[in-house]
Structure formats: structure tokens, C-alpha cells
Amino acid sequence: MKPYVILISGRGSNMQALLQARLPGQCVAVISNRPEAAGLAWAADRGVPTRIVDHRRFPAREAFDATLAEEIEGVGGELVLLAGFMRILTPGFVERFAGRLLNIHPSLLPAFPGLNTHEAALAAGVRLHGCTVHFVTSALDSGPIIIQAAVPVLAGDTPDSLAARVLQQEHIIYPQAARAVLDGRCRLESGRVVWDDDATSADLALRVPAQ
């Protein structure tokens, strides 16, 4: 089984979804940049090894990222899954794990990169919002897309109500994407997402749940 690592900064609801999905691999560590992250206790209670690399103890991003990379490689992590990891990674780190680094973002990229995506979607008046699993590149929230899920923006939606519906879809599509990469059915080649089965790619490319 291919070993993978999950990076978190908080409660780790996407981490929980990944671990509960029983992916075709072994989670060799959950690593957080915050010692107080609630997700660490959840993972430890289920027998998953945990690590802390506190970013506040490092003078620069490069030093933090170098230590984080050493931790990942030290436990044998081949695939790295960002699950609410609230750090902008340096180009050196991204290059070190190129093609092996996944993230989930709460918008239909390339729309609304960065923070406060639900507020931005409501302010823009879009009719569809959602989430995206993508390979990570040095450009913020702009890597090649693996899977997306769309939800309608409803009359009377608030950022919290919209976020809750999007989060439900995050918990579905992130395990799907991670499973495809761990199985070797999906990979990054020359900056593009490649699937071994075009039919599978079409089925998973966009999820539009019934409302």
C-alpha cells in the first residue's frame, strides 16, 4: 500500500473523511503546524501516528517547509494530502513533492482563490458554488484540477449555510480524488491531469448533487 501523509491546521474534518474512507494506502502520519489542532487528538485516538511542526518556531517559511518535508519523508510519505492546512507552501516544498501533493479548496476554481470564498461567492451573485480537488503548484489555488463538486446558491443563503453544503461535498470528492491517485488511475504529467480511463474521468470530473 502506498503511504500517505495528511497535513492539518485545525479540526480536520476532511482528514476524518479521508481516514474513514479506508483509502487504498496507509496513513503513516497526520502532521499539524498547530499543536492545539483538534484533529490531532481525533487521529491519535484511532491509532494514526501524529506529528507537530509548529510554524511559529521557525524564522522563515523556507526553514519551516524544509523541516516539514523532512518529517514527511522521515515517515515514508509518498502522497501528501492538504486537509485544511492553513499555510502557503514555498516553491521549494511544492517542487520537492511535485505530482504528489493534493489540496481541496472551497470554491469552483479558478473562481475565488484564497480565503473567504463563500462570502466572495455571495457578493459576486454566482448561482453555482462548490469545491475543487487539485494538484498543488507554486501558484496559490491554481493547480491542475482533478475533481469538482457544484452546489446551487440558494435564496437566503449565508456564508455559513453555503459553507455547510459545500463541506458535505468536500467530504465526498476528496476521498474519491485521493483514491484515484493512490490507485494510480490519476496522475500529473507535464502539468496536466491524466486518467488511465477516460470514462472514469468523465464520471468523476464534476459532481452535481441532487438538492
DSSP string for residues in 86-111 = --PPPHHHHHHTTTSEEEEESSSTTS
Give, for 189, the enclosing helix (H) or strand (E). Answer: strand 186-189
Angstrom distances, CA of residue 55 to CA of 16, 88, 137, 179:
23, 11, 21, 29
Catalytic residues: 105
Q: How far apart are CA 143 and CA 184, in angstroms?
A: 19
Cβ contact 148:206 at 8 Å: yes
